[in-house]
Amino acid sequence: MIEIEHLTKRYGKKTAVNDLTFTVKPGAVTGFLGPNGAGKSTTMRTIMGLDAPTAGIARVNGKHYSDFRAPLTEVGALLEAKSVHSGRSAYKHLLALAHTHGIPKRRVREVLDTVGLTEVAGKRVGGFSLGMGQRLGIAVALLGDPAVLILDEPVNGLDPDGVRWIRELLKGLAAEGRTVFLSSHLMSELAQTAEHLIVIGQGKLLADTTVDAFVNSRGASVRVVSPESAKLAETLQGPGITVTSPESGVLLIEGTEAAVVGEAAAAHGVVLHELRAEHASLEDVFMEITAGTVEYHQSQEGVAAK
């Protein structure tokens, strides 16, 4: 379990994390979301003891990271995959780390096999691709067989097969009862991997809920395509129901369910070409909830031709 209590971190006049409180529980993959500059990396670094908090507490299984005698066996982390001596082989890098914690050699071979690097275990890390470097970073996180995993953008550089692999790996580790805390900017992937979400903006907590509850918080609409859309719109007038027509022959209906719309169409003899419920995506709700906390705003204008 990871516990964050009233965590604040300032760098001079800049407040990166502002009175943040949340708990990451075992048994589920918890996604960590926020715009660039929201304080995600700072929060993770504070949990790992790499940054000292200005105020508040960050604990893992009831302890500060610095209190662990063999931290690799307690917490596995991937914060920066490139922090490896480029002249070492993948095997020697993992073996050196294993020696510092009394981890047997066989475990090094096990994690190399788990992440798919057995065939290149003897090659120098400096020649690795981005995806191979990510796999090595994940191997380091798994080396001590820890109960808690903290991963910052673990799918960065992975091909589609690698993305699916890490998704299933993390879900499997959570199913074993481990605590899995995952930061990613890939909303579609996080929607398939995480069960719970922590969302922050400008260092403050914006949401702490399940993925399903977060996505459904915006509510669903019903999309209808019909050559008699105007007639159907008239029949659906009522309290709490909103009907809009974004284009000819198309209706977007809020405040009721698809079954109700279908029954109304049948009762009035309205022909339907399409009828379906539309739910907001994780990305849609995320963009909406963080709209006021985005630190870096890109121009909406095109680049002028030279």
Cα gap 245→259, rounded to integer Å? 19
Predicted local confidence at residue 90, as pLDDT = 95
Going by C-alpha positions, the residue among 179, 195, 231 that lies closest to residue 25 is 179
Q: What is the mean pLDDT of the chain?
A: 91
pTM of this prediction exceeds 0.85 = no
- At the second CATH level, the architecture of 2-215 is 3-Layer(aba) Sandwich (3.40)
**pLDDT tens-digit readout, 64-107:** 999 999 999 999 999 976 778 888 999 999 999 999 999 999 99
- What integer pLDDT is reported at residue 255 of this predicted model? 86
Length of the chain: 306
CATH number for the segment(s) 218-285: 3.30.70
Cross-strand bridge partners of residue 225: 250, 274
pLDDT at position 62: 94
C-alpha atoms less than 13 angstroms from C-alpha of 264 in its C-beta half-sphere? 20
Beta 220-225 vs 179-183: how paired, if at all?
unpaired
Tens digit of each residue's pLDDT (9 = 90 or more) over 163-208? 999 999 999 999 999 999 999 888 888 999 999 999 999 999 999 9
Task: Kindly report, residue by residue over 244-273, the tens digit of the pLDDT.
Answer: 998 999 999 988 889 999 999 999 999 999
Structural domain boundaries in the chain: 2-215, 218-285
Beta bridge partner(s), residue 3:
23, 59
Structure tokens that stand for 269 in this block:
């003899």
- The pLDDT tens digits of the residues spanning 96-153 come to 999 999 999 999 999 999 999 999 999 999 999 989 999 999 999 999 999 999 999 9
Confidence of residue 305 (pLDDT cuts 50, 70, 90): very low
H or E element that contains 264: helix 258-267
The pLDDT, as a whole number, for residue 295 is 63
At residue 32 the predicted structure's pLDDT band, cuts being 50, 70 and 90, is very high
- Roughly what angle, to the nearest 10 degrees, separates helices 130-142 and 160-175? 10
End-to-end CA distance of the chain: 55
> Strand pairing of 220-225 and 274-279?
antiparallel
Is the pLDDT at 241 greater than 50? The verdict is yes
| Contact indicator for 216, 205 with CB cutoff of 8 Å | no
Chain centre to alpha carbon of residue 46: 18
Within 10 A of 119 (CB to CB), how many other CB atoms are there?
A: 9
Residue 306: which pLDDT band, with cuts at 50, 70 and 90? very low
Average pLDDT over residues 17-24: 97
Between CA 77 and CA 150 the distance in angstroms is 5
Residues 184 and 295: their CA atoms lie apart, in Å, by: 18
